[in-house]
Structure 1
Amino acid sequence: MPELPDVEGFRRVLSTCGRRCVTDIEVRDAGVLRGVTGRRLRKEGEGRRLGKAWRHGKWLFAPLDGGPTLVFHFGMTGSLWCCSPDEPFAVHARLVLTLDGARSLRYRDQRKLQGVQLADEAAVGRILERLGPDALAVDRTQLTDLLSARRGAVKSALMDQAVLAGLGNLLCDEILWRARVAPRTPARDLSATTYRQLHAAMGRVLRTSVRAGCVPPRRSWLTGRRDDSESLCPRCGRRLCFGRVAGRRTVWCPHCQP
């Protein structure tokens, strides 16, 4: 499930493609297109050079020089690959951009819950208006202000993209476990010390995950234990608890996160 670290990895994929010209666009499955037809995508995209890609939360933006912006959202199963045009197509390759005839940029997605759109400056602005600040850039004061205004559970607040952009289920569980905060604790009831611990934990988890390109399933991390047949806390060795918060499967340690 792509979260901020994965999408930052996809941004790096785009960067490795360089500022090449889009010489061909092949829509292999129009089910991933959002608000644009394959014909229009080809008309407005082919012949333009890729600009510098940038990310906000789980959204990836690839400007086309002198034209609109390609906007990618990866939903539950999306990914982005840059390879040789001769490489065989992987399963679920839905959209293919050939760059200068030398590289092939491929958007893959099994479930097609989100997808790719073409956006002008105003449309990009509307996307950003719906999102909170990027989780990788938010400072401690901002995080405190954002969470202290929320009545619901702290995990629900962290996962709300309108509050904070980029965090998904795995990241939230990992951050809360490291900060020793129970996921159902009301966000506005946290102490100043706990907000500070939460911000520090979020920074550490995100920095490590961005380097890995995903939330790493290390055995010293909650992420590395949550799918064990007998899931034990990597910190205290006690049995982990499972439940649902914000409609998502949630894992926590009742001893470390009282």
Structure 2
Amino acid sequence: MPELPDVEGFRRTLDACGRGRRIEKVHVTDRGVLRGVSERGLRGALEGRTLRAPQRHGKWLIARTDGGPALLLHFGMTGRLLCCPPRDPPQRYDRVRLDLGGGRGLRYQDQRKLQGLRLAADEAEVERALRGQGPDALSVGREEFGGLLRRRRATLKAVLMDQSALAGLGNLLVDEILWRARLSPARPANTLTDEQARALYAAMRRTLRLAVPTGRVPGRRSWLTGRRDDGDPRCPRCGTGLRRRRIAGRTTVDCPHCQPEQGR
């Protein structure tokens, strides 16, 4: 599932491939990924426009154009953005293609089509579309982060995955961050001490700094992510067998030794 590092990678793809280039043609091969806009409306709004510097907020990618309209992309569980020449043969999960000037092209691909593309006519509509999002996990300050934890009684896993509280983190990242911070995912967020909240913030910042350059959540063997799908998964830090359970409706992997429950 694309999380903040993946979408930041898509932002770099869009910036390198599209910024300053004219959208020559919009091809919609599957209307099932269009949200609140028709194929005709999308073509009319974007064709002839020039792409500006893109922005990412959480798991959303905003592709602005010179005339005001912006394309908002969300990648759901299986989406991705590719840069390739328009003449390249179609691929199975191509949903929308943009032919750009200079012989370049962008492809939005998505197997499951759980999210998709939205069109914002101007900045006010961009703001309305993102209004329900919390601060971006890569730019949130430590005090703001600590404040949102103190206000929430839900589990740490639920709070960190709640896009209205903090935008950008998904299942793999949250498990990784909590493992690094040595905190149980089942612990209520508002029970953390100030020191634990600072440690969690530092773990989040470090995890994101390491993951973003790779454009994904790395599956390194020194990471929890690199061990969670082993046949006999063991903690990379202490060797204890990893625990798998459901918290906040999601499959959660943690180390019972490194991440003891509250009160132990």
- The TM-score, its normalising length taken from structure 2, stands at 0.96
SS class of match (1:98): strand
For residue 165 of structure 1, report the CA deviation from its aligned partner.
0.3
Distance 1:23 1:99 in 2: 5
**Could you tell me which residue of structure 1 aligns to residue 195 of structure 2?**
193
Matched, 1:122 2:124: yes
Q: Does 1:89 align with 2:117?
A: no
- Aligned 8 A contact 1:85 1:101 in 2: no
SS in 1 for 2:159: helix
Shift of 1:130: 0.3
**Shift in Å at residue 82 of structure 1?**
0.6
Mapping 1:60-99, distance limit 5 Å: 60-99=61-100
User: Equivalent pairs: percent with the same residue?
Assistant: 59
Structure 1 position 90, deviation (Å): 2.1
Distance 1:101 1:137 in 2: 34
**Unaligned segments of structure 2, at least 5 residues:** none
Which amino acid in structure 2 is aligned with residue 113 of structure 1? L
Question: What is the CA deviation profile of residues 177-220 of structure 1, one whole-angstrom value per residue up to 9, with x for unaligned ones?
Answer: 00000000000000111001100100010011101100000000
Separation in 2 of the partners of 1:232 and 1:90? 38
Distance 1:10 1:163 in 2: 23
Give me the whole-angstrom Cα distance separating, in 2, the residues matched to 1:170 and 1:245: 13
Cα distance in 1 between the residues matched to 2:177 and 2:72: 28
Runs of 4+ that moved beyond 6 A: none
Per-residue CA shift, 1:148-170, capped at 9, x if unaligned? 10011011000000000000000
Q: Which deviations, in whole Å up to 9, do the C-alpha atoms of 1:102-121 show, x marking residues without a partner?
A: 11100000000000011122
Once residues 127 and 149 of structure 1 are traced to their aligned partners in structure 2, the CA distance between those partners, rounded to angstroms, is 24
Q: 1:231 corresponds to which residue?
A: 233
Q: Secondary structure at the match of 1:42?
A: helix
Judge conservation of contact 2:21–2:102 (CA < 8 Å) in 1: no
1:174 pairs, out of 170, 173, 176, with 176
Kindly provide the CA deviation profile for residues 198-256 of structure 1, in whole angstroms up to 9, marking residues without a partner as x.
Answer: 00100010011101100000000000000001000000001000011111100000000
Root-mean-square deviation (CA), in Å?
Answer: 0.8
Q: Identify the residue that residue 161 of structure 1 maps to in structure 2.
A: 163
* Secondary structure of the structure 1 residue equivalent to 2:130: helix
- 1:67-119 superposed Cα distances (whole Å, 9 cap, x missing partner): 31000000000000011122222220100000015111000000000000111
TM-score by length of 1: 0.98
**97-106 or 107-116, larger mean C-alpha shift:** 97-106
Q: Report SS of the residue matched to 1:129.
A: coil
- Where does residue 8 of structure 2 map in the other structure? 8
Structure 1: distance between partners of 2:173 and 2:129? 22
How far apart, in 2, do the equivalents of 1:128 and 1:93 lie? 25
**2:218 aligned to 216, 220, 225, which one?**
216
Aligned partner of 1:93: which letter?
A: D
- Other structure's SS at 1:62 match: strand
**Secondary structure of the corresponding residue to residue 237 of structure 2:** coil
